[in-house]
Amino acid sequence: MFKIASTSRAFTRAPLFASALQSRCVPLPNINRVHFKCTCHACTCSSQTRSFHTTFPLKARKESDPYKILGVPKNASKDDIKKKFKEQAKKYHPDINKAPDAQQKFAEMNNAYQILVDDNKRNIYDQTGSTEAADGGMGGSDGGFGPFGESNAEQAREIFEQFFGKGGPFGGGNPFGEGNPFGDAFDAEQNAKPSPRHGSDRREILHVTLKEAVYGTTKDLNVVKFVKCSPCSGSGKDTKKGSVKCSDCNGKGKTEVRNGFFSFSNDCRKCRGQGNITHTCTNCNGTGSTKATKKIELNVAPGSDNGHLLRVRTFGNPGANGGTTGDLFVEIAVDKDPVYSRNGLDISVDSTVPMTTAVLGGVTKVKMLDGELLDVTIPAGIQHNEKVTVPGRGVPAKKGTSKTGNLHVFVQVQVPKLMNEQQRNLMEQFKEAGGY
């Protein structure tokens, strides 16, 4: 059995040492100065701990800073990265830019982009400073799984077969076993304490009348807010009960993974290398937060309309791993009014006028949305359902603007159903005079 004593994350393409071929100790592939502790008791090495260099015919990749390649800061958002990549891609695309180095620059930008838009790859690069590690393995490998991906293990098997035949140096079987012996060897990053994550935002609907939306109002809204759990102070752990020894690692914080002739020591996944597990808080089920109903006062600005959003900070969903709480967005929903209608900044209303006013013209009283009685001039000869517009009497200007809407009055001509004898005679005279 071979145990890794220590490793370096750097990679090399130095030739395989001849001493490795003369020994029954098997070097791991493509690691710079990987140390092995031989436990087979059949090795003739002068020292039980040996170092080897190996090489693979891998495609060379230039180690460079993806942030500098794309020209973005390290705190750039995904949208900023995508926008910058589009700009640079148009500039250096080989079909557009015929410069000798355009194709190489375009390839470098593409590699940088693939790392920075992938949260996992970007996190690995930020921690290691290595684009090769971020790309999931040694330079040029595709689809690998970390520095010792399955594709690299396959290359290692091919090298062993070239020197020792298909039986391997031990006379039979694959020294790497079935599958990949290196898959879990460097999973320490996976076992690291999760980074804080910002809580997601929530959305609520607030119904208001047309009058409230047009002239503004203040509304109370009962919402659910996630607050810090009091018993555990937001930790999600029941510290009063103490902790128990992790059953997976027996309190050591490390677990040993065996594969073929190798064994690897790794942080325990269950306790994350702590060796013990703390009881979960029963009040919040380990989330660190509980629900509480809160009454909040919302100011609906004059001129609000359907779909307008009001933002209430820290009333969203709780963050994870100590992350900040999200926000609450309250969406305005304007209820339909039985009398008035709205189209943008304009208000429309029907107004009934007598036939004589429609024929001769005059003034009629129109009740506004806020209750004001407005005198509206009706021109002579106006037709049924014809519109009279009163400028500036629609939706008032929003704060910081001067544009106001208009009031549209649709005239509804009222024809009398019953007339006395005098009225009827007058209508007959009107008819004989060439009227209707």
pLDDT at position 1 is 41
Amino acid 73 reads P
Helices (H) and strands (E) in the chain, counts: 11, 18
Torsion of CA 103, 108, 109, 115, to 10 degrees: 150
8 Å CB contact between 404 and 397: yes
How far apart CA 170 and CA 59 sit, in angstroms, is 31
**Residue ranges of the alpha helices (H) in 117-194?**
119-128, 131-134, 150-164, 188-191
Whole-angstrom Cα distance, residue 54 to residue 366?
92
Can you give the pTM of this predicted structure?
0.48
- With 0-12 CB in 10 A as exposed, 13-18 as middle and 19+ as buried, what is 182? buried
pLDDT for 131 equals 76
pLDDT at 55: 36
What's residue 129's pLDDT? 78
Q: Go through the domains of the chain in sequence order and give each one's CATH number.
A: 2-59+146-186 (no CATH), 66-134 (1.10.287.110), 202-236+283-334 (2.60.260.20), 243-278 (2.10.230.10), 341-432 (2.60.260.20)
Question: For residue 277, which amino acid is it?
Answer: I
As a whole number of angstroms, the distance between CA 436 and CA 431 comes to 5
**Could you read off the pLDDT tens digit of each residue along the chain, which spans 436 residues?**
443 333 333 333 333 333 333 444 444 433 333 333 444 444 444 444 333 333 333 333 454 788 998 899 989 998 999 888 888 877 877 777 888 888 888 888 888 888 998 888 888 888 777 777 666 543 333 443 333 334 334 444 444 444 444 444 444 444 444 444 444 434 444 445 568 888 889 999 999 999 999 999 999 999 888 888 888 887 788 877 778 888 889 888 888 876 655 667 788 888 878 888 888 888 888 888 888 899 999 999 999 999 999 999 989 888 877 788 899 999 999 999 999 999 999 999 999 999 999 999 999 999 999 999 999 999 999 999 999 999 999 998 887 788 899 999 999 999 999 999 999 999 899 888 886 6
User: Would you state the pLDDT for residue 307?
Assistant: 93
Opening angle at CA 259, ends 254 and 264, nearest 5? 30
CA dihedral of 40, 41, 42, 46, whole degrees rounded to 10? 110
Q: Check residue 100 and give its pLDDT.
A: 82
- How far apart (Å, rounded) are the C-alpha atoms in residues 84 and 338? 51
pLDDT given at position 261:
56
- pLDDT of 168 reads 43
Let me know: does 141 contact 150? Beta carbons within 8 Å: no
State the DSSP H helix or E strand holding residue 67, giving kind and residue range, or none if neither: helix 66-70
C-alpha distance from residue 433 to each of 415, 430, 436 (Å)? 20, 5, 9
- How much is the CA Rg of the chain, to the nearest whole Å? 39
